Amino acid sequence: MSTENPSSALEPVQQDSPASSACAAKASKFSPTLKGVLIGAVAGSILPVFGTFSGAVIGGIAGKIYQKKCAKKP
C-alpha cells in the first residue's frame, strides 16, 4: 500500500501546451527574427532548392511570425 494521498491522484495535472512552452524559453541575446535569418541562410546554402538570400528571407519571415505568435500569449 502506498502512502500517497488518494485525493491527489484524482486531481487533474495541468500541462503546458508545446507552443506555450516553446515561447517560454529562456531569454536570448538574439531576436527570433535574427535567428530565423541566420538559420535560413545556412539552410539555404546547404539545400539546393533555396539560395542563401532566399533562405534568409524565408527564415526572417518565419521568425517574425513566431515572434508575433509568442507576443500574443499572456
**pLDDT for 52 beyond 70:** yes
- CA-based angle 70:51:38, to the nearest 5? 35
More confident residue, 6 or 61: 61
pLDDT interval class at 13 (50, 70, 90): low
pLDDT (0 to 100) of residue 26: 67
Distance set, CA 24 to CA 15, 16, 17, 28, 71 (Å): 13, 10, 11, 11, 11
pLDDT interval class at 71 (50, 70, 90): confident
Q: Which residue has the cell 516553446?
A: 22
pLDDT interval class at 22 (50, 70, 90): low
* Residue 48 C-alpha from the chain's centroid: 26
| Mean pLDDT score of the chain | 75
Domain boundaries, the chain: 30-74
